[in-house]
Chain A
């Protein structure tokens, strides 16, 4: 893979998440019944940060869960490698809540579709929002995000890498080219 360009710096990521946190609270008309659910791996980090930002602005700790969508993938009967099943932990009832699903990149929409099915198996939220740091286009399903850090038109041959300090030791969004 070949590096092409840096899309967002650490500072720009911070600003994008700050804006999303404000938008979430505005759209939800406060923090009542609000919760975040982060999708493995970097969606979890981003959800933690959004939750912390909401705590700073509103003085409220909203609940947070983590979600693994592996068992809900639509390609398990045809793939040649076995994905690891990772932890799902949502230590509260999502019934009647506004759930903000958080992922790093929105691409085909298949992860979001799987996450919606997984969430609905866990309860009946009153509303599910989708928040992503980058929307790179190329949807294969009728899915859209409610909160977007950066809309980034890409070619299918390109790869969007989101790097966060907690997982990758550095902070950036980068565009790479498959060779």
Chain B
């Protein structure tokens, strides 16, 4: 109705207050978030990539574990929405753990923060922060547990390429056991109708995960897949004997041009970055037309802008 006042088309489903993982999120929430992310893509296509939506809001990025890309992506997303950004990074080694996370966050909170983006090596800290602070918390990665905005940008990039994830087979390959990216995708992608296969050497697979298939057989995982995601292999794990040697990993699990042939002809290839060239992926695969790696980074911006909008706007009263 044209009432002559600002029209308010609101979101039908009550949205979760935090993005810690996908507990409490349903398909309708995700789809409405992606609708907003598409609108943010338009903002990012403009000569002036900035809107005043979050003027007056302050977003703190609190990184207890070092990360450059994720932090930059969040900070740029917040700035493009005109939020003020407060940036904290602290190495956990210098802190007496547990209490000091809380002390740090409460100190920041006294400065008037409206939302927190938290990256930490200890799983569960973002959940605790949600209780300590009573402000929207975005988990930017906690230990091996969750990295929900990475899964969101992966799903968004897949949807952009495939149209729908209903009944699509998505293979995720690599160090599944230590991967928060794999866990968050294993939570999100089935919610959108996808069939998720997690594949890696036996020492790098978790015992069981709900709603996904686990296999050590790369051919089985890639067979007829609609999309393939390679994970970053952390070389330090090799030293600790969890991993076979590099040549063994490459022989069994590297995604090569040839092995990608086991998947559907147009199946796109994803990687969350940063990449170990010639380890997870063969040579120039990341630059091939099937690669979504660049789209993932660009979409990360739009998705994070949408997350900030959804968690911050309309939450008063």
Contacts and interface: CB of A to CB of B under 8 A. Distances in A.
| Smallest CB-CB A-B distances: 9 pairs | A82-B314, A105-B4, A80-B317, A107-B4, A162-B2, A104-B2, A71-B51, A71-B53, A84-B9
Given A121-B48, A160-B2, A84 B316 contact: no
B6 A111 contact: yes
Interface stretch (B36-44, B105-113, B213-221): B36-44
Interface in A79-98: 79-89
A7 to B, nearest CB: 12
B9 A86 contact: yes
B54 interface: yes
Give the interface centre of B32, B52, B309 by most chain A CB atoms within 10 Å: B52
Given A107-B5, A160-B2, A76 B51 contact: no
B10 A117 contact: no
Interface of B: 1-11, 15, 32, 35-36, 39-40, 42-43, 46-48, 50-57, 81, 309-310, 313-317
Given A80-B316, A161-B3, A85 B55 contact: no
A123 B132 CA distance: 45
21 contacts: A71-B52, A72-B52, A76-B54, A77-B54, A77-B313, A81-B314, A82-B10, A82-B11, A82-B314, A85-B309, A86-B9, A87-B39, A87-B42, A108-B4, A110-B6, A121-B46, A121-B50, A160-B2, A161-B1, A162-B1, A168-B1
A83 B10 contact: yes
Nearest to B42: A88
Interface range on chain A (Cβ under 8 Å from partner) = 35 or more
A87 B52 CA distance: 16
Contacts of A82: 10-11, 15, 309-310, 313-315
Contacts of A89: 42
Interface string A54-66: 0000000000000
A42 B2 contact: yes
Contacts of B309: 82, 85
A114 to B, nearest CB: 8
Given A76-B54, A76-B313, A84 B10 contact: yes
A64 B15 CA distance: 35
A15 B19 CA distance: 52
B51 A72 contact: yes
B9 A79 contact: no
Contacts of A40: 7
Nearest to A168: B1
Give the interface centre of B39, B47, B313 by most chain A CB atoms within 10 Å: B313
A6 to B, nearest CB: 15
A1 to B, nearest CB: 10
Contacts of A81: 8, 10, 314
Given A72-B51, A82-B314, A121-B46, A77 B57 contact: yes
A162 B313 CA distance: 28
Contacts of B314: 76, 79-83
Contacts of A162: 1-2
A85 B51 CA distance: 12
